[in-house]
Amino acid sequence: MTRESLNLISALLLAAGKGKRMKRVKQLLPLGERSMVEVSLKNLQSSRVDEIIIVLGFAADRILPLVKGKEKVRPVINPCFREGMSTSIHHGLKAIHPQAKGIIIALADQPFITSEIVNLLIERFSEGGKGIVVPVYQGRRGHPVIMDRERYERELLGLRGDVGGKEIVERHPEDVLAIEVSSSGIVVDIDDWEEYEKIQGRVR
């Protein structure tokens, strides 16, 4: 299947959180030669997504210079980030291409999701069998998730508080395609300093 025959895919990279447990700007922590947010962004840039809406909030003034002007990337500021992840999804959705068919929801604190995994999910989504595609590692569902925009944009806009798309996935089991992957990166997120220290050295 050629790229031209695939539907347009927009990625929302959520990078607005305060990272309360880290007590510092988690998105800017170094991983190899880049910051965490840059590594997560680079993985999406190297994939077959058509555009990346990166949603910023906490420390946006420090993160924006690292992401502004990059290929396929459009930064969006969420002034309501303190009200939870759902507000970042709402702001991101307002910025995506009007013809986007699929929406990828990715998190800036999951830097080990490779472009190959993203491409696999896009390929399976483009086959049109299901409206939600999620990766699975050893029985655990992870990120990123792809959702059909026409079917699920309204539900995403209806989310409130500090929640993402998980409850929508759970609400529609009949429309979910789970793809087994061999990488634990889909379930590794960095929420505290201990987890951060464990993953040092995985990114060069």
Query: What average pLDDT does this structure show over 13-41?
Result: 87
What b/e sequence results for 117-140 when a residue is b if at least 16 CB atoms lie within 10 Å of its CB, and e otherwise?
bbebbbebbbeeebbbbbbebeee
**Domain annotation for the chain: domains and CATH numbers:** 3-199 (3.90.550.10)
Q: Is 182 helix (H, G, I), strand (E, B) or coil?
A: coil
CA distance 141 to 114: 16
Phi-psi region of 71 (alpha: psi -120 to 50; beta: other; left: phi over 0): beta
Pairing of strands 140-141, 132-137: antiparallel
pLDDT at 204 > cutoff 60: no
pLDDT at 1 > cutoff 50: no
CA distance 151 to 32: 39
Of 3-17, 22-36, 160-174, the range with the highest mean pLDDT is 160-174
pLDDT tens-digit map of 181-190 = 998 888 887 7
CA distance 164 to 38: 21
